[in-house]
Structure 1
Amino acid sequence: MPEPPVVPLRPSPLARLARERDSLRGVIASIGRETDLAPLLARVLEHACALLAADHGAISLVDESRGTVRAAAVRDMPAVRIGDIIPPGVGMVGLVLERRAPVCVRRYAEIPTPIVPALDEHAMIGVPVHWGDAPMGVFALGRAPDASTGRRRPFGARDVETLEEFARHAAIAVHNARRLAAERLRGERLALIAHVGRLVTGDLQRDELLQRAADAIHEILGYENVAIALLLPEDPDTLLLHSLGGGYKRAIGGRHHIPIDRGLMGAAARTREVVLANEAASDPRYLPTPGTDGRQAEVVLPLLAGDRVLGVLNVERREPFAAEDVDGLRIVADQLAVALENAQLYEAAQRAAALEERHRLARELHDSVTQQLFTASLVAQSVGAAYARDMVEGERRASMLVDITRGALAEMRALLTELRPSAEWPVLTIPDAGLARLRGVGLVEAVRTHVASGAVGEVAVDVVDDGWTPQPPAIEETLYRIAREALHNVVKHAHAARAEVRATTRGGVARLTVHDDGAGFDPGTRIGGRRDGGLGLRSMRERAAERGGALHVESAPGRGTTVEAALPLGEADMP
């Protein structure tokens, strides 16, 4: 007697719930471990296909900068590859985005505009991927007819609910990845600004400075083509293509003259405004450049010294420029303009006042912006790991990084404006949250707040009130700046585990001491041997000397460092 055929049992509701739970646990674990979006979405898609018995699937994401949709993850989907652009308004993706709601059909051919004939007889399901009200993309799965019977295997309402849950986790992964990518890009922009700032405050000649700046813009931010053109003093209607970076070095080479009545660079020089063309070839002012195909985005920023145009910074890349990209390049253009103006002043007159101003610039950059950027770099290095451990902690550190970088950019803009004083450009005071706090709470508490802000990294710092009495603002500000710079050096150079800041008022002297247990150094060779460390020590000495005081440094290799600032108090300053 023949055996009866084996009929597969449908999984019970409890079994399905258990499978869903296990799949979602796997997805959540992946989100916690993986920071690279592509493998993360591939893993989410794999779990969804396995749980819903789908033969193929794809996750497509909206590219808002270009107004397109691209396939970001693909699993056995006929005629679709990762990176493919999905035509707008057609297929399953177009239908889901149009309706902003799930779509479930027994046959792919039933949708209004099918675009993949190989899927016509397949059952399909698609749900939107969104963050809040903002559409991110579409999560779609398909089932082929049964190979032996030809029967279709449609999706049901429960499958829609399950896929929506996967789409929600995909949205979390995309959001986290984009936030992390944005913070990395922010860090790269800050690195470029800091790098150009070091070039500006260095001893480079103009030509070398501009060439290094062009190379840095290409290498740090990855922009394909970079050009810096200068307005000729003897012919103000002509730009000289001066320094080239990236592909322009190979495609152009040499120096070329460009009339300012032609091209996007000429337009920026004439109007003194930023010129942005995210589809350069479609701009009527665009002039084709040898070695390029015109499909790139282009932004041109004027290099301005007050109301004078010194030249332009031209940058090109494949992807469109966002507002944040332009803001970062604007800071770089302002730095280059300051460098060019300083170079012209130095070369024209070599006055002692010009040299003194350059020294002041170096000190202010070092004591304000550089310290903020260094603090930002410490926080930025921890963002990725924090996200992997705890999303809330990752968000907190990302927010802290945003606050620090905004403060650094505000200080940079204010300082650059201050360096161009005129009737139209009044002298500005650099906004400094630390100094504002100092005026409210006094020296000791202001230093404690600075330590608690994360500026000292992993160094354990004790702040000791050793009989300190409140002093006039000028005295407390000088000691606060010295304390901040000394702690900056501890973090950056000393490799210390602990440090102590001690403030005291005794015997007609306001005294601040910073001691660390770090590597130490030879004070006799460090100033000449290291430009950054020497600048910091000179800055502290100059600030103490401005108040009639002195700075003493005691250190030796392997024995830590003690920095002591002593400022005399006049009778009016005595408590």
Structure 2
Amino acid sequence: MPVPASALPVQRRRDPATPSGVRRGSREAQTLETLRAIVEEISGELDLRPLLTQLLVRACDLIGADRGTIGLFDPARGVVRTEAAHNMPPDEVGAEAAAGIGLAGAVLRDRQAVLSRYGDLPDPPQPALADDVVIGVPIVRRGEMIGVFGIGVQPPVPNDRLSRRDVATLEIFARHAAIAIENARRYAREQQRTERFALVARVGRIVAAGVRLDDVLQRAADAIHEILGYPNVAIPLLEPGDPPTLVVRAFGGDYKAMLAGEHRQPVTMGVMGAAAREARAVLVNDARCDPRYVPMSRSTGITAELAVPILAGGRVAGLVNVEGSGPFDDEDAATLTIVADQLAAAVENARLYEAAQRAAALEERQRIARDLHDSVTQTLFSLTLIAESLESAWRRDAAEGARRCGRLLELSGSALAEMRALLVELRPEVRVSDPLGGGEPPLARVAREGLAAALAHHLAELRRDRPALETSLDTARYGARRAPAPVEEALFRIAQEATANVVKHASAERLTVRLGRSRRGVRLTVTDDGAGFTPGDVRRGFGLLSMRERAERLGGRVRVQRARGGGTVVSAFVRT
């Protein structure tokens, strides 16, 4: 059984020619000088990994040992993890020892130095080194154990090769090593803080760039890997379903090479699933022992996983998930929470953009429907009425029949012109031919001559098609100054629809159109003396919906009322 180093006798070789006190003083002075030189050497190294390797090599040189390890204590898990090894089997780095297991475990359990044959230790993890003589020394800082030196000598071992004096030397060296490790850790924390600020800034720039959401997530995954060095990074989005599914298309680190395309995982599985279900960060530092852990690939050496939800609008939209070979801490979780919040803004922006695109497409469809209804549909209705009366008119008077045939051709050309104008709006890069030489679209006349002149022309065409309908136009209060083009176009379309309704439904004898202007805007009224209307028919009609939408888009309104003495009044007001 191993015993504390303080209980072992000090082995000495005797030299009869030299007094023992002189020899002891010379060796102690030489050791102290070597310690001083080593301390000066290691004090300038602030990178923890190279420092640990340097400390280990110097510890072996200091007492003439053949090999060794240096491990750091993880208080959260109660284990010592080997961080550097010298002349040891390749599987030693990364190995973990609990209290009472092997050399590091013996030091961890007793919190004091151990000098022993390696094979006499409890459960030695490297049986091939059973005949080595080893020293284990705790590395302590401010009363807390932070690590363990494990130093060994290969057989055959002379009786005086390792002694209690060597243990004392290593204990002194361990005190200086503790200071160096603490400084390196402090430096590493500052570096990590700087890197985290850099990551937050970079992700902020990525989100602000306004690229596609998939590109934002991929660039964020790359940044997390490059800046913080996490070996595996995945940023899944939550896809609705029963159960919902985490869909990963953005990978960073090793995942980027191992996983191609898309990875899908139900929220009922894995650490990621737990974070999605619970809408909170889930940190697992012993993934191999956690039943929730589900590896996404054949990646080796993974011991820890951290999943942070992306909360958009109070709901889980996705996750930022990282894996690594070392433990994560609260600062890792806090940093990734900030990143997740930034990505939540990107997710929300993408959703708003998609909603805006859908709304824009719907608005465009509604606009086309209004234009088709108010232009082509009205013209086709007039064509139908003329075609229905053509045979009887021709029998009564051939000249009238010929006139109506000419009117059919004219209206057909007008309908083609309207359709051509709509097609050009939809595909301006395509030249639309007009084989029949159609007439001028009414809105072209509005743009060229103004609203008042276009209304006069429109009423003249109504009289041609309905000679029995008496029409009048009053534009005295409108004046010569024209309203903005969108206002004139909208009011002309409203007048088209209102007068078409008179022809189709009212059986009216008289139609009056008035156009006036005030400091607030422009008002159009269309009055007839026909049969009037029922409220239910007005609410259901597409024509009234079209008129109201045109006015409301310009901050105006449309009202339909019964006229005094019978008939209908359509009143439209648009602000200018």
**Alignment of 1:314 onto 2:291:** no
Q: What is the rounded CA distance, in whole Å, between the counterparts of 1:161 and 1:221 in structure 2? A: 39
Instruction: Please give the per-residue CA displacement for 1:139-169, whole angstroms capped at 9, x wherever unaligned.
Output: 344567887xx6455513x444332111101
Distance of 1:123 and 1:230 partners within structure 2: 55
For residues 108-507 of structure 1, the aligned pairs below 5 Å read 124-142=134-152, 151-153=159-161, 155-156=163-164, 158-232=165-239, 237-255=244-262, 258-280=265-287, 282-292=289-299, 295-349=302-356
1:419 aligned residue: none
Displacement, 1:97?
2.0
Cα distance in 1 for partners of 2:130, 2:262 equals: 59
Q: Tell me the distance in 2 between the aligned counterparts of 1:338 and 1:181.
A: 31
Contact 1:69-1:86 at 8 Å conserved across structures? yes
Per-residue deviation, residues 79-107 of structure 1 (Å, max 9, x unmatched): 687626264323333222211122345x5
Give me the whole-angstrom Cα distance separating, in 2, the residues matched to 1:209 and 1:176.
37
1:172 Cα offset (Å): 1.2
Instruction: Name the SS for the 1:33 alignment partner.
Output: coil
- State the one-letter code of the partner of 1:135: M
1:34 matched residue in structure 2: 45
Deviation at 1:55, TM superposition (A): 5.4
Q: CA offsets, 1:330-359, max 9 Å, x none? A: 110011102222333344348xxxxxxxxx
Larger Rg: 2
Matched residue type, 2:32 = R
Measured at CA, do residues 118 and 155 of structure 1 come closer, stay the same or move farther in structure 2, by a change above 3 Å?
Answer: farther
Q: CA 1:284–1:341 in 2, change beyond 3 Å: closer, same or farther?
A: same
Give the one of 96, 102, 121 matched to 1:91.
Answer: 102
Provide closer, same or farther for how the CA distance between residues 235 and 177 of structure 1 changes in structure 2, counting only shifts above 3 A. Answer: same
Is the CA contact (8 Å cut-off) linking 2:48 and 2:188 kept in structure 1? no
Relative to 1, partners in 2 of residues 1:12 and 1:118: Cα closer, same or farther, differing over 3 Å? farther
CA positional deviation for 1:260: 3.8
Q: In 2 relative to 1, CA 346–234 (structure 1 residues): closer, same or farther, beyond 3 Å?
A: farther
Residue-by-residue CA offset, 1:460-493 (whole Å, 9 max, x unaligned): xxxxxxxxxxxxxxxxxxxxxxxxxxxxxxxxxx
Name the SS for the 2:148 alignment partner. strand
- SS of equivalent residue, structure 1 residue 302: strand
**Any residues of structure 2 matched to 1:21-100 within 5 Å, and which?**
21-52=32-63, 54=65, 57-64=68-75, 67-74=78-85, 83=93, 85=95, 87-88=97-98, 89-100=100-111
User: What corresponds to 2:112 in structure 1?
Assistant: 101
Measure how far apart 1:180 and its partner are: 1.8
> How far is 1:295 from its partner?
4.6
Distance 1:267 1:182, change over 3 A: same
Call closer, same or farther: CA 1:7–1:43 in 2, change over 3 Å.
farther
**Please, which moves more after superposition, 116-125 or 164-173?**
116-125
- The one-letter code of the counterpart of 2:163 is F
Cα separation, partners in 2 of 1:180 and 1:146, compared to 1, 3 Å = same
Change (3 A) 1:152 1:291: closer
Cα-to-partner distance string for 1:365-399 (whole Å, 9 max, x where unaligned): xxxxxxxxxxxxxxxxxxxxxxxxxxxxxxxxxxx
- Aligned letter for 1:126? G
Instruction: Report the counterpart of residue 20 of structure 1 in structure 2.
Output: 31
Whole-Å separation in 2 of the counterparts to 1:254 and 1:231:
16
CA contact (8 A) 1:299 1:314 kept: yes
- Please say if residues 311 and 317 of structure 2, whose CA atoms lie closer than 8 Å, have aligned partners that are also in contact: yes
Counterpart secondary structure, 1:329: helix
Residues in 2 aligned to 1:53 and 1:125: alpha-carbon distance in whole angstroms: 12
The residue type equivalent to 1:90 in the other structure is I
CA distance in 2, matches of 1:95, 1:163: 17
CA contact (8 A) 2:80 2:148 kept: no
Tell me if structure 2 keeps the 8 A contact 1:280–1:294.
no
Q: 1:12 is aligned with what amino acid?
A: R
CA displacement at 1:70 relative to structure 2: 3.9
| Percent identity for Structure 1 against Structure 2 | 48
Task: Give the 3 Å change call, closer, same or farther, for CA 12–258 of structure 1 in structure 2.
Answer: closer
Local SS of the residue matching 1:321: coil
Distance 2:60 2:130 in 1: 19
CA contact (8 A) 1:297 1:316 kept: yes
Q: Secondary structure of the residue that 1:12 maps to in structure 2?
A: helix
Structure 2: runs of 5+ lacking an equivalent: 1-14, 358-576
Contact 1:71 1:81 survives alignment (8 Å): no
> SS at 2:73's partner residue?
strand
CA contact (8 A) 1:145 1:152 kept: no
- 2:43 is paired with a residue whose SS is helix
Native 8 Å contact 1:297 1:318 kept in 2: yes
Alpha carbon RMSD of aligned pairs, Å? Answer: 3.8
Give how far 1:213 is off. Answer: 1.3
Query: 1:200-251: CA deviations, max 9, x gaps?
Result: 2223232322221122122222223333333347999444434333333343
SS in 1 for 2:107: helix
Q: Secondary structure of 1:204's match?
A: coil
How far, CA to CA, are the matches of 1:56 and 1:335 in structure 2? 49
What is the deviation of 1:137?
Answer: 2.3
What is the letter of the counterpart of residue 337 of structure 2? R
The CA distance in 1 between the partners of 2:290 and 2:124, in whole Å, is: 35
Shift of 1:110: 5.8
* Deviation of 1:193 (Å): 0.8
- Shift in Å at residue 54 of structure 1? 4.7
